[in-house]
Amino acid sequence: MNFDLSEEQRAIQRLARDFARNEVAPAAAELDEQKRFPYEIVAKLAELGLMGIPYPEEYGGGGADTLSYALVIEELARIDSSVAITVAAHTSLGTHPIYSFGSDAQKRKWLPELCSGRQLWSFGLTEPEAGSDAGNVRTTARLDGGDWVIDGAKQFITNAGTDISGGVTITARTGPDEISNILVPKGTDGYMVEASYRKMGWNASDTRPLAFSDCRVPEDNLVGERGKGFHQFLMTLDAGRISVAAMGLGLAQGALDEALAYAKERHAFGQPISRFQAIQGKLADISTEIEAARLLTYKAALEKDAGRNFSLSAAQAKLKTGRLAVRAAEEAVQIHGGYGYIEEYPVCRFYRDAKILTIGEGTDEVQQMVIARALGA
């Protein structure tokens, strides 16, 4: 069993790490404080080819594997989760359904814009009555004169309110017992982008509700086969959990980085606090858990690239890393003491950003259900 990354994967990791340190880190605190979307950073990521990294070069993507993509997300989240989720949601949730289930015409039309980062795409699944119970979709779409007429609402949608949003793929009930996915371009009449949420964390990420009222799109905007939407979004969520696991892993590593650096500099009782066993125990435990979580996350990515069933490992990785991110951020704040509660220290932002990783892309309880079913329980 070889645990070494390939030269290409190491090169992508170095590229993402250098970018995160040199471009994201100096801006992260200000973006968070001002709750400002990182347009300049997204543009630079696009120039580096990192907005469509796991998709084929024929569509303008990077042609890289899933593990390389996970490495990029990990390195971005190590510095700032708002930037990381912007890339992850666009890539795993927005672009994935079009690439995996879209027609050739849809791929040719949309993927070059999305893989280049010139446009961002969103995925509209969650509704007021359809969160963990994702199949309880109330948004409807009916055929009328060659158009789908959409009525309903979505919530907690990422990237849809940005100036570079291209549109959203929504799940809608197209019959009494069928769910389908439909592409809704930005600017379509009846497609309303509501005000953004006031959030605990991910303040530089765009998150908001959407509404649809007599919203008409061509019948050809159906993604894949009618009535296969439930299966499609389950597969999309499976793939997306790898990137969210990479986010949890990166945040935990970033929290450890900050805690270790601070513990070496902070003196108490005549010596650096890193020499106290109580602090060493925290650092050692988090470091060990991060390494275990990293192996689990990378395993899920490798299984996906090998064409194997990765649902179990992706759910396990997402469950593990989300909880680890919360614990690592909390311990980093504790090691910082009072300073950990002050916004000028990154661990304060990490602490606020961490909690959503146990909720978004399937709550911990949903992951436990997925895991238990995979085990045959």
List Cβ neighbours of 211 (8 Å cut-off, separation of 6 or more): 152, 153, 154, 192, 194
Tokens 């008409």 sit on residue: 216
The rounded distance, in Å, linking the Cα atoms of 13 and 10 is: 5
List Cβ neighbours of 228 (8 Å cut-off, separation of 6 or more): 101, 180
Residue 278 CB: number of other CB atoms within 10 A? Answer: 9
Residue whose C-alpha is closest to residue 329's, from 247, 244, 254: 254
**Active-site residue, 194 included:** no
Residue 129 CB: number of other CB atoms within 10 A? Answer: 10
Catalytic residue, from 33, 74, 361, 365: name it.
361
- Cβ–Cβ under 8 Å, residues 75 and 17: yes
Distances, alpha carbon 124 to alpha carbons 15, 139, 183, 296, in Å = 31, 10, 10, 28
Assigned token pair, 16: 């993402």
Beta bridge partners of 169: 123, 183
Active site (catalytic) residues: 361
